[in-house]
Amino acid sequence: MTWPPRQRASATPRRRPLDGRGVLTLLLGGAFAWSLATVPWGPDLVHPGGERAIAQLLAAALRPELSPPFLALALEASWRTAAYAVAGMTVAVAIGLPLGVVASGALARGALSRLGAVAATRGLLALLRAIHELVWAWLFVAALGLSPLAAILALGLPYAGVLGRIYAGLLGDVPEAPLRALRASGASEWQVLLYGRLPQALPDLLSYTFYRFECAIRSAAILSFVGLGGLGYQMQLALDDLRYGELWTLLACLVALVVAVDLWSGEVRRRLVA
């Protein structure tokens, strides 16, 4: 008995219709082309006198304001910006970590309870991070006035939403073998969380938290533009008065804050790995 001869595979691959990636590429390309078409190309594209303002701004970078009174003002504004960022991140971690644990489903045993807890918590986290910190700032300034608490809450709530969502993913992605060994020894889900999930995910949790702390420094400076004080507020005053030398000094302070946080986070990660 002979089997029918096997058909030879075609040398040239068959063309398939556009898959999801191709459709997404076409949509993005179309959106980019449409955005270019809506730009009012012409002499009014650049504000009259804009070239001169840019030249003055760049020239001021060579002569920043370094007088002792202004340096003292810049250091005070930097300290206030860093304080807003630290307080806001403290609120964000205090809210985001427990919500992230619940959103990961690590404490739920039944499938139905796990689904309900995860869906409800992730919906709350999505709501928190869907509203930008500037919008939160305007809301809290309207409710609380120009208070440091308004800046802290405006940073803490959206960052809690971001941190909680990332924490949930990191806690849910840890290897299951050590967790199964803990459960086999009689550990509860809380003990599995404390001695299994958190230790394995801790380096990634800290790494992302420090990254968001860097973002919080920049966000705190931006929030200062609404009148809450700090580097952003001083930058706005310098721009309004065309004091570009002061602006570059304030920008250097902001860069120094971000670099300091980056160096600190790198040192913490090295000590964890060692």
| SS3 track for the chain | CCCCCCCCCCCCCCCCCCCHHHHHHHHHHHHHHHHHHHCCCCCCCCCCCHHHHHHHHHHHCCCCCCCHHHHHHHHHHHHHHHHHHHHHHHHHHHHHHHHHHHHCCCCCCCHHHHHHHHHHHHHHHHHHHHCCHHHHHHHHHHHHCCCHHHHHHHHHHHHHHHHHHHHHHHHHCCCHHHHHHHHHCCCCHHHHHHHHHHHHHHHHHHHHHHHHHHHHHHHHHHHHHHCCCCHHHHHHHHHHCCCHHHHHHHHHHHHHHHHHHHHHHHHHHHHHHC
pLDDT band at 114 (very low <50, low <70, confident <90, very high): confident
Lowest mean pLDDT among 20-29, 120-129, 131-140, 249-258: 20-29
Q: What is the pLDDT of residues 196-218, one digit of tens each?
A: 888 888 888 988 998 899 889 98
**pLDDT given for residue 15 in this prediction:** 53
Lowest mean pLDDT among 66-75, 185-194, 243-252: 185-194
pLDDT band at 37 (very low <50, low <70, confident <90, very high): confident
Q: Tell me, yes or no, whether 57 lies in a domain.
A: no
Q: Tell me, yes or no, whether 44 lies in a domain.
A: no
Please, are residues 257 and 82 in contact by the beta-carbon 8 Å criterion?
yes
**pLDDT given for residue 127 in this prediction:** 93
pLDDT band at 251 (very low <50, low <70, confident <90, very high): very high
**Mean pLDDT of the region 252-266:** 88
Q: Please count the structural domains in the chain.
A: 1
Going 230 to 235 to 240 to 245, the CA torsion angle's sign is positive
**pLDDT given for residue 87 in this prediction:** 93
CA 251/CA 228 separation, integer angstroms: 18
Q: Tell me, yes or no, whether 203 lies in a domain.
A: yes
**pLDDT given for residue 12 in this prediction:** 52
Please, are residues 245 and 84 in contact by the beta-carbon 8 Å criterion?
no
Q: Tell me, yes or no, whether 150 lies in a domain.
A: yes
Angle value at C-alpha 197, between 192 and 198, nearest 5 degrees: 110
Q: Is the pLDDT of residue 44 over 80?
A: no
Q: Is the pLDDT of residue 46 over 60?
A: yes
pLDDT band at 137 (very low <50, low <70, confident <90, very high): confident
Q: Tell me, yes or no, whether 244 lies in a domain.
A: yes
Name the amino acid, one letter, at 60. Answer: A
CATH number of 76's domain? 1.10.3720.10
Q: Tell me, yes or no, whether 26 lies in a domain.
A: no
pTM over 0.95: no
Q: Tell me, yes or no, whether 51 lies in a domain.
A: no
**pLDDT given for residue 93 in this prediction:** 95
**pLDDT given for residue 162 in this prediction:** 94
Q: What is the pLDDT of residues 103-112, one digit of tens each?
A: 888 777 766 7
Distance of CA 42 to the CA centre of its chain: 36
**pLDDT given for residue 161 in this prediction:** 94
Could you list the residue range(s) of the whole structural domain that residue 187 is in? 67-273
**pLDDT given for residue 16 in this prediction:** 57
**Mean pLDDT of the region 227-255:** 87
**Mean pLDDT of the region 8-36:** 71
More confident residue, 68 or 228: 68
**pLDDT given for residue 250 in this prediction:** 92
Percent of all residues in the chain with a pLDDT value above 90, rounded to a whole number: 25
Q: What is the pLDDT of residues 66-89, one digit of tens each?
A: 999 999 999 999 999 999 999 999
Going 193 to 198 to 204 to 209, the CA torsion angle's sign is positive
Q: Tell me, yes or no, whether 39 lies in a domain.
A: no
18 Cβ neighbours under 8 A, 6+ residues apart: 26
Please, are residues 167 and 125 in contact by the beta-carbon 8 Å criterion?
no
